[in-house]
Amino acid sequence: MVLSSSIGYAQPDRKALEQAYIGQIVKDLPTPACILNRTKVKDNCDAMLSNAESLGVGFRAHIKTHKTLEGVRLQLGSSNHGKIIVSTLMEAYSCLPLVEEGLVHDILYGLPVAPSKIPELAELATMMPYLRLMMDSEAQLDALIAHSRARPDTKKWSVFVKVDCGTHRAGLPTNSSALQSLISYLLAPEVSQFVDIYGFYCHAGHSYHDTSTGSAKETLFAEITSADAAAKYALSVLKSEDTSRFVISVGATPTAHASHAVKKAELPAVSGALELHAGCYGFCDLQQYATNLIEFEDISIRVLAEVVSQYDERDEMLINAGCIALSRETGPIPGYGNVCGSATGWTVGRISQEHGILTRCDKSATMTPVGQKVLIVPQHACITGASYEWYYIVEESGLNAKVVDVWIRFNGW
């Protein structure tokens, strides 16, 4: 079949971009633009790999924040983990060159399976050693089984069961009868001939509200305990004590950051192989900064905009970046983005489609002249990045950094 991700979507012209922009200085780029400090991305990625290594656990990189081949390489480093999570079929499809290369061998499609996507997922599964799916409903399983029965050449499905440890997005609550019923159904012979449980998965999205290492560490332990309870239940159904049978995959960027403060001996004993996962940590943003788990200097993403007007009567400035360029994401830190560097003292207080209004957050700050560029740290890197077709890559901070590369994103679904 033809994968829908391969229909119609076009890739930006990398050669034209490289020729036009490599060697340019950030402040001379067309605005709005999305700028990434590769040195910081690499440091953030290495730090996370080192967390996993210190704890002796596996690592699975969520690629939805950056959606680039170069970003996957930095996330995996020299670790040979080879395991990633994607949020769209387009991301999985676009990573096929890395699968072919051997860098990636295990892809988890992280959204609970939409029945209509099953034929494409079956096709993608044949293109890599391991494609994992996310399960949280018997209806999804029924659709998988129906496909496998109709197409006996279908590869056996490998799935994570999603456990809701408090975010109330996807997943079933720990120890709930719904979760136990799903697990029992998965292990029943009429299902298990087509579908294999690979592991149990928790994502504490609510950890974005944590504001200290201590509380994020507690949330990390809650993720582990929640996923482990599901694994324990599955082992009890199987009447097995094989703690290598399942993978227990946990993490959200704040809890994954907090893993840095966990000693191996502190880790709860679990009935499976522990695996850490996270995505936003490579870029970070104001939401991550608000958790107090990173330094402001760790944030690697900026939106470049230009001051286009000043309004003395209302003490505001206009920039040419609005909610398309920045996204309408908010967080504990007020505004839609913080202005860095010499213009510090201003925040993006209001936005419409292409207009941003800088409002004052420091009485002593002066206005930035019309025509000067400003760098803005966004609230939520995953959503802000989605408006851009490519990132301009630099290796240092500020308006005078030189562009050293261009990374092209896999947008679409």
Question: Footprint of a second copy on residues 50-69 (CB under 8 A)?
Answer: 64
Q: Which one of the spans 35-43, 92-100, 254-262, 367-375 is the region binding a second copy (CB under 8 A)? A: 367-375
Figure out which of the listed residues 245, 387, 395, 404 binds a second copy, where binding follows CB under 8 A.
387
Provide CB contacts within 8 A for 346, sequence distance 6+: 317, 339, 358, 359, 360, 361, 362, 365, 368, 374
- Residue 305 exposed, middle or buried by CB count within 10 Å (0-12, 13-18, 19+): buried
Contact 412, 88 (CB under 8 A): yes
Figure out which of the listed residues 112, 254, 282, 378 binds a second copy, where binding follows CB under 8 A.
112
Figure out which of the listed residues 22, 267, 386, 404 binds a second copy, where binding follows CB under 8 A.
386
Cβ distance to a second copy smaller for residue 106 or 136:
136
388 to 407: interface string for a second copy, x by CB under 8 A:
-xx---------------x-
C-alpha torsion 40→41→47→49, nearest 10: -160
CA 377 centroid distance within chain: 17
Q: Does 172 bind a second copy (CB under 8 A)?
A: yes
Least separation in angstroms between residue 103's CB and a second copy is 24
Q: What is the DSSP letter of 111?
A: E
Figure out which of the listed residues 370, 396, 400, 402 binds a second copy, where binding follows CB under 8 A.
370
Q: Does 411 bind a second copy (CB under 8 A)?
A: yes
Figure out which of the listed residues 76, 82, 83, 136 binds a second copy, where binding follows CB under 8 A.
136
Figure out which of the listed residues 88, 94, 219, 271 binds a second copy, where binding follows CB under 8 A.
88
* Residue in 92, 127, 29, 32 with CA at minimum distance from that of residue 356: 32
Residues 184-213 that bind a second copy (CB under 8 A): 205
Figure out which of the listed residues 1, 8, 269, 363 binds a second copy, where binding follows CB under 8 A.
8
Q: Does 173 bind a second copy (CB under 8 A)?
A: yes
Cβ distance to a second copy smaller for residue 153 or 312:
312
Token pair listed for 334: 């007020």
Token pair listed for 249: 């995959």
Number of residues interacting with a second copy: please give it, by CB under 8 A. 76
Q: Does 355 bind a second copy (CB under 8 A)?
A: yes
292 to 331: interface string for a second copy, x by CB under 8 A:
--------------x-xxxxxxx-x-x-x--xxx-xxx--
Unique residue bearing structure tokens 């400003």: 374
241 to 270: interface string for a second copy, x by CB under 8 A:
------------------------------
Q: Which one of the spans 11-19, 100-108, 190-198, 257-265 is the region binding a second copy (CB under 8 A)? A: 11-19
Provide CB contacts within 8 A for 188, sequence distance 6+: none
3-state SS class at 125: helix
* Residue in 123, 112, 203 with CA at minimum distance from that of residue 165: 203
Least separation in angstroms between residue 61's CB and a second copy is 16
Token pair listed for 157: 């499905």
Least separation in angstroms between residue 316's CB and a second copy is 8
Figure out which of the listed residues 24, 39, 158, 176 binds a second copy, where binding follows CB under 8 A.
176
Q: Does 150 bind a second copy (CB under 8 A)?
A: no
- Alpha carbons 213 and 216: distance in angstroms, whole number: 5
Contact 111, 132 (CB under 8 A): no
Least separation in angstroms between residue 76's CB and a second copy is 21
Q: Which one of the spans 98-106, 153-161, 163-171, 215-223 is the region binding a second copy (CB under 8 A)? A: 163-171
Q: Does 352 bind a second copy (CB under 8 A)?
A: yes
CA 202 centroid distance within chain: 14
Gyration radius from the chain CA atoms: 22
Token pair listed for 198: 């690979």
3-state SS class at 127: coil
Q: Which one of the spans 148-156, 168-176, 216-224, 293-301 is the region binding a second copy (CB under 8 A)? A: 168-176
Helix/strand number for the chain, H first, E second: 14, 18
Figure out which of the listed residues 149, 151, 156, 169 binds a second copy, where binding follows CB under 8 A.
169
Q: Does 369 bind a second copy (CB under 8 A)?
A: yes
Q: Does 180 bind a second copy (CB under 8 A)?
A: no
- Alpha carbons 335 and 367: distance in angstroms, whole number: 18
Helix residue spans in 84-201 (DSSP H): 89-94, 96-101, 118-125, 138-150, 177-187, 189-192
3-state SS class at 12: coil
Report the b/e string of 258-285 with b at 16+ CB within 10 A: bbbebeeeebeebbbbbbbbbbbbbbbb
Q: Does 30 bind a second copy (CB under 8 A)?
A: yes
